[in-house]
């Protein structure tokens, strides 16, 4: 009963807080939506971005674009928006036909955060958040862009580095504690907090799926994957500076992990695994012919499913929270926050669970695929029964 009362109080206070702060937020967001509208509608006169900005006052009454706002928050960016009009400029690193080029992303926007042309080896401009080479009149130069490789430290990359530093800090400290206190004493502090999670990965993910004999070899990989996903999931849930980037909900991140899983699974696979793919034992030869392509496709769909699952789950969570917050701006009334904020908080809670769950599922399935690829053959009796 008291728990329910606390919950109700919590929801009420959050709603009140949102009501109190939503006015300035609304004003802010109006400006943002105006900006984005400008970006979307004035592509023809991109070079004259500064001039068109003054003209956008005419668009004041234009509807608030939910999709664009949400996508803007989910997508990667060349600068890290902190609050209001403050953002951190990040380095832009480019490889073009004229070699490498490094400059600050602050050069790409004017004082009103509108994209402007930067003259480096080429003319660079942000088009829908992505850096492109433009020609003299401001149109995107497709030919030159084919040569452009953008390896900038974007918001996602910076966030990824932060998560890497956090992970390194935590685990190097935890590992040092073992050296210091020795094996016999009970774990303390950070070590005692991390050890159960490490043990969870080992005892509930690695050993049941891979087996006691072979799991040790894959433990570093599984632990790294698990904690990298977990840290980035949680960082993504934090709406302000150290978090806020959508790293684990980015397809590049999940793709990289999926490729790593693909490589690890298929490099570690034994003869038995390949036999089950190309020439399934215990089947009629016609079935074997039929199964081989399906199994072969399965080799690729497994990591692809991992990639899509993580990406979709995290992105969907972010979209959900943002959509709920956007309700306030759709209805253009602070009272909408009475509904939007409690729901957003609720979804936020679920997101915390999902953040852990997705790290767990990704690692568990990885362990399972590794286990399948390393399984010792135990189909002999089935074989014998068939022949």
Partner 1 sequence: MFILEINPLVLPDIGLVFWNTIAFLVLLIVLGKFAWKPMLKAIADRESGIEEALLRADKMKAEIAAMQNENEALLAKAREERATLIKEAKEASDKMVAEAKDKAKSEYDRILADAQLAITQQKNAAITEVKNQVGTLVIEVAEKVLRKELSNKADQESYIKQLADGVKLN
- In the complex, the smallest distance separating the C-beta of residue 230 from partner 1, rounded to whole angstroms, is 13
Could you write out the DSSP letters of every residue in 78-106? SEEEEETTEEEE-EEEEEETTEEEEEEGG
Judged by CB under 8 A, the residue of 139, 140, 153, 304 near partner 1 is 153
Q: Which residue number, 38 or 250, has a Cβ lying nearer to partner 1?
A: 250
Helices 285-331 and 251-268, axial angle in degrees (round to 10):
160
Residue 331 forms beta bridges with which residues?
Answer: none
- Hey, what are 357's tokens? 């769950």
When asked if residue 175 is in the footprint of partner 1 (CB under 8 A), the reply is: yes
- Considering only residues 305 to 324 of the shown chain, the ones binding partner 1 according to CB under 8 A are 311, 315
- What is the per-residue burial (b if ≥16 Cβ within 10 Å, else e) of 61-94? eeebbeebbbebbbebbbbbbeeeeebeebebbb
Judged by CB under 8 A, the residue of 150, 204, 295, 375 near partner 1 is 150
- Considering only residues 239 to 298 of the shown chain, the ones binding partner 1 according to CB under 8 A are 250-253, 255-257, 260
Q: Which residue number, 125 or 276, has a Cβ lying nearer to partner 1?
A: 125
Q: Which residue number, 121 or 224, has a Cβ lying nearer to partner 1?
A: 224
Q: Which residue number, 20 or 216, has a Cβ lying nearer to partner 1?
A: 216
With contacts defined by CB under 8 A, how many residues of the chain interact with partner 1? Answer: 50
- In the complex, the smallest distance separating the C-beta of residue 331 from partner 1, rounded to whole angstroms, is 26
Given the rule CB under 8 A, which of 14-22, 27-35, 115-123, 179-187 is the region that contacts partner 1?
Answer: 179-187
Give the strand pairing for 123-127 and 130-134. Answer: antiparallel
Judged by CB under 8 A, the residue of 224, 266, 268, 272 near partner 1 is 224
Distance CA 380, CA 226 (A): 35
When asked if residue 190 is in the footprint of partner 1 (CB under 8 A), the reply is: no
Angle 378-380-386 (CA atoms, 0-180°, nearest 5)?
A: 135
Q: Are 154 and 162 in contact (CB under 8 A)?
A: no
Given the rule CB under 8 A, which of 37-45, 97-105, 149-157, 296-304 is the region that contacts partner 1?
Answer: 149-157
- Hey, what are 79's tokens? 């600068």
When asked if residue 172 is in the footprint of partner 1 (CB under 8 A), the reply is: yes
- CA quadruple 202, 208, 212, 214: dihedral positive or negative? negative
Which secondary-structure segment (H or E) carries 339?
A: helix 337-373
Q: Which residue number, 8 or 181, has a Cβ lying nearer to partner 1?
A: 181
When asked if residue 362 is in the footprint of partner 1 (CB under 8 A), the reply is: no
- In the complex, the smallest distance separating the C-beta of residue 382 from partner 1, rounded to whole angstroms, is 35
Given the rule CB under 8 A, which of 45-53, 178-186, 233-241, 287-295 is the region that contacts partner 1?
Answer: 178-186
When asked if residue 217 is in the footprint of partner 1 (CB under 8 A), the reply is: no
- In the complex, the smallest distance separating the C-beta of residue 280 from partner 1, rounded to whole angstroms, is 33
The residues near 199 (Cβ < 8 Å, ≥ 6 apart) are none
Q: Residue 126: is it exposed, middle or buried by C-beta count within 10 angstroms (0-12/13-18/19+)?
A: buried
Could you write out the DSSP letters of every residue in 30-62? HHHHHHHHHHHHTGGG-TTHHHHHHHGGGGTTS
Site pattern 11..40 for partner 1 (x: CB under 8 A): ------------------------------
Give the strand pairing for 123-127 and 118-119. Answer: antiparallel
Q: Are 323 and 341 in contact (CB under 8 A)?
A: no
Q: Where are the alpha helices (DSSP H) in 238-336?
A: 251-268, 271-278, 285-331
Q: Which residue number, 90 or 341, has a Cβ lying nearer to partner 1?
A: 90
When asked if residue 74 is in the footprint of partner 1 (CB under 8 A), the reply is: yes
Contact residues for partner 1, defined by CB under 8 A: 71, 74-76, 93, 128-130, 149-154, 156-157, 160-161, 164, 167-168, 171-172, 174-175, 178-179, 183-184, 195, 198-199, 202, 216, 219-221, 223-224, 228, 250-253, 255-257, 260, 311, 315
């Amino acid at each position: 009963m008291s728990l329910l009362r606390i919950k109700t109080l919590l929801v009420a206070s959050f709603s009140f807080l949102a009501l109190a702060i939503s006015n300035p937020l609304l004003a802010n967001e109006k400006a943002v939506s105006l900006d984005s509208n400008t970006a979307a509608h004035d592509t023809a006169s991109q070079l004259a971005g500064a001039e068109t900005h003054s003209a956008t006052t005419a668009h004041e009454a234009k509807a608030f674009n939910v999709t664009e706002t949400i996508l803007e928050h989910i997508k990667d960016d060349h600068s890290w928006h902190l609050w209001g009009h403050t953002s951190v400029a990040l380095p832009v690193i480019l490889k073009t036909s004229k070699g490498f080029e490094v400059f600050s992303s602050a050069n790409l926007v004017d004082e009103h955060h509108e994209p402007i042309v930067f003259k480096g080896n080429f003319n660079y401009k942000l088009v829908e958040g992505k850096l492109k080479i433009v020609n003299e009149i401001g149109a995107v130069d497709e030919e030159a862009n084919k040569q452009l490789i953008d390896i900038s430290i974007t918001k996602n990359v910076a966030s990824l580095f932060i998560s890497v530093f956090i992970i390194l800090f935590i685990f190097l400290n935890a590992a040092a504690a073992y050296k210091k206190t020795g094996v016999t004493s009970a774990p303390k502090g950070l070590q005692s907090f991390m050890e159960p999670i490490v043990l969870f990965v080992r005892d509930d993910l690695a050993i049941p799926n891979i087996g006691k004999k072979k799991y040790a070899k894959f433990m570093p990989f599984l632990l790294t994957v698990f904690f990298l996903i977990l840290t980035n999931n949680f960082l993504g849930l934090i709406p302000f500076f150290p978090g806020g980037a959508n790293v684990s909900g980015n397809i590049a991140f999940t793709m990289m992990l999926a490729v790593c899983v693909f490589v690890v699974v298929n490099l570690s696979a034994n003869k038995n695994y390949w036999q089950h793919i190309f020439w399934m034992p215990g089947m009629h030869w016609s079935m074997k012919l039929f199964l081989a392509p399906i199994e072969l496709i399965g080799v690729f769909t497994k990591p692809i499913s991992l990639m899509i699952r993580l990406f979709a789950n995290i992105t969907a969570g972010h979209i959900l929270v943002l959509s709920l917050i956007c309700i306030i701006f759709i209805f253009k009334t602070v009272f909408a926050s009475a509904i939007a904020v409690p729901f957003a908080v609720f979804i936020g809670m679920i997101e915390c669970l999902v953040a852990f769950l997705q790290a767990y599922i990704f690692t568990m399935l990885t362990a399972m695929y590794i286990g399948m690829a390393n399984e010792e053959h135990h189909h002999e009796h089935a074989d014998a029964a068939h022949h």
